[in-house]
């Protein structure tokens, strides 16, 4: 994602902090802000791969750097469409696309991430209507 595209999602002064993806996520899942990235990673992990992913986490946390980077980029998104755009524009470095990520699917599920974002933004829109 380009620097300009990333900065276009930054939380400006006119946007309340409670409207951001990270704020909505932490409130909904009762997650401390300092645990946001790790909590999103594990909630959106490909379900059948969680046991193996935990082993990888214990031996090489850097393996999940691209997933954490994406989650961090989503922090200030203020709508589902922004989340979807950030996810669609995000591309992990080619060296990250290993056999374990592609074939064994030891990675975060972008579909699950979109599902969480959809629930967060559309649930809050329904409450305010």
Q: What residues in the chain have per-residue pLDDT under 50?
A: 1-15, 129
Predicted TM-score (pTM) of this structure: 0.77
Of 126, 116, 103, the closest CA to residue 40 belongs to 116
The confidence score (pLDDT) of residue 127 equals 55
Structure-token match 């790790």, residue found = 38
In sign, the C-alpha dihedral spanning 116, 109, 34, 21 is negative
The domain ranges of the chain are 15-128
The three-class DSSP label of residue 76 is coil
- The total number of residues shown for the chain amounts to 129
Within 13 A of 43's CA, how many CA atoms are on the CB side? 18
């Amino acid at each position: 994602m380009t620097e300009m595209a990333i900065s276009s999602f930054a939380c400006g002064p006119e946007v309340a902090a409670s409207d951001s993806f990270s704020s909505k996520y932490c409130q909904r899942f009762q997650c401390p802000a300092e645990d946001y990235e790790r909590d999103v990673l594990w909630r959106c992990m490909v379900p059948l791969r969680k046991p193996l992913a935990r082993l990888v986490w214990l031996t090489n946390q850097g393996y999940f750097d691209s997933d954490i980077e994406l989650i961090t980029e989503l922090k200030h998104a203020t709508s589902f469409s922004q989340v979807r755009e950030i996810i669609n524009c995000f591309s992990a470095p080619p060296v990250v696309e290993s056999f374990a990520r592609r074939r064994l699917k030891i990675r975060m599920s972008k579909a699950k991430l979109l599902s969480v974002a959809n629930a967060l933004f559309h649930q809050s829109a329904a409450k305010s209507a």
